[in-house]
A and B are shown apart, each in its own frame.
Chain A
Amino acid sequence: TQLLEQSPQFLSIQEGENLTVYCNSSSVFSSLQWYRQEPGEGPVLLVTVVTGGEVKKLKRLTFQFGDARKDSSLHITAAQPGDTGLYLCAGANNDMRFGAGTRLTVKP
């Protein structure tokens, strides 16, 4: 059983569409991070959210941390083929646990 549940598991969309992916848990985290992983590489950090209700924006990406610090969402506006990859959320307390990821494909 995953500590962090990510949905959807797979997502294939056309360039220009918007999308939201979710990360849910029954546990409370000190912080939650989103990583992106490309084939053959290790995950790379996109953002860290710490405060319940926090919203962070990174260009076309908007990240939100739930009020109870148990869940998070990632919204991408006007997706581009370069956004293709595996998006992983990670919850941190004393260690760091990852969800199974959302594999996003953006078709030109």
Chain B
Amino acid sequence: GAGVSQSPSNKVTEKGKDVELRCDPISGHTALYWYRQSLGQGLEFLIYFQGNSAPDKSGLPSDRFSAERTGGSVSTLTIQRTQQEDSAVYLCASSFRGLVNTEAFFGQGTRLTVV
């Protein structure tokens, strides 16, 4: 497809389980972003990749959260030992090279529900 693809679109998991969220960016986009959006709220920055490296991981809420990107393409966001407060929509965006004057394209998100 031509857009940013995220999977799964919905995930319900039990508290304490690990989950993996996947993001396929637009081909050729070097920058990739993960955000979290709670119901009715704005976007909370989690992490940013330029190529395979993450210059800024300060947005990750706790050490239960980790993310990687391989081959400058697909990224996975892993949440270990999920908690109910992790329930949110996780959005991924990609853009071509840097951000000045370039558009970030968003996927439709993964809605995570921890029960």
Binding site for B on A (CB under 8 A): 2, 6, 30-31, 33, 40-45, 48, 50, 86, 88, 90, 92-101, 103
Q: Please, which residues of chain A bring their CB within 8 A of the CB of B104?
A: 33, 45, 90, 96
Does B2 sit at the interface, judged by CB under 8 A?
Answer: no
Q: What's the dominant secondary structure at chain B's contact region? A: loop
The verdict on A43 contacting B106 (CB below 8 Å), with A88-B42, A95-B48 known, is yes
Question: Which of A31, A44, A95, A100 lies in contact with B56, CB distance below 8 A?
Answer: A95
Binding site for A on B (CB under 8 A): 4, 33, 35, 40-43, 45, 48, 55-56, 91, 93, 98-109
Query: Is A44 in contact with B99, judged by CB distance below 8 angstroms?
Result: no
Q: Please, which residues of chain A bring their CB within 8 A of the CB of B101?
A: 31, 48, 50
